[in-house]
Amino acid sequence: MKPYEIRELSNEELESKLKALKEELFTLRMEKAMAKLAQPHRFKEIKRDIARINTILRERRFGNGSKE
Query: Any idea where the domains of the chain sit in the sequence?
Result: 3-60
Higher local confidence (pLDDT), 68 or 45? 45
pLDDT for res 1: 81
CATH number of the structural domain 3-60: 1.10.287.310
Q: Kindly state the DSSP code that residue 35 receives in the 8-state scheme.
A: T
| 9: Cβ contacts below 8 Å, ≥ 6 apart | 17
Instruction: Outline where the chain has alpha helix (H).
Output: 3-7, 11-33, 42-62
- Mean pLDDT, the chain, rounded, equals 89
Spell out a b/e string for 15-32, using b for 16 or more CB atoms within 10 Å of the CB, else e.
eebbeebeeebeebeeee
Max CA-CA distance within the chain?
Answer: 51
Confidence band, pLDDT 50/70/90 cuts, at residue 38? confident
pLDDT for res 8: 93
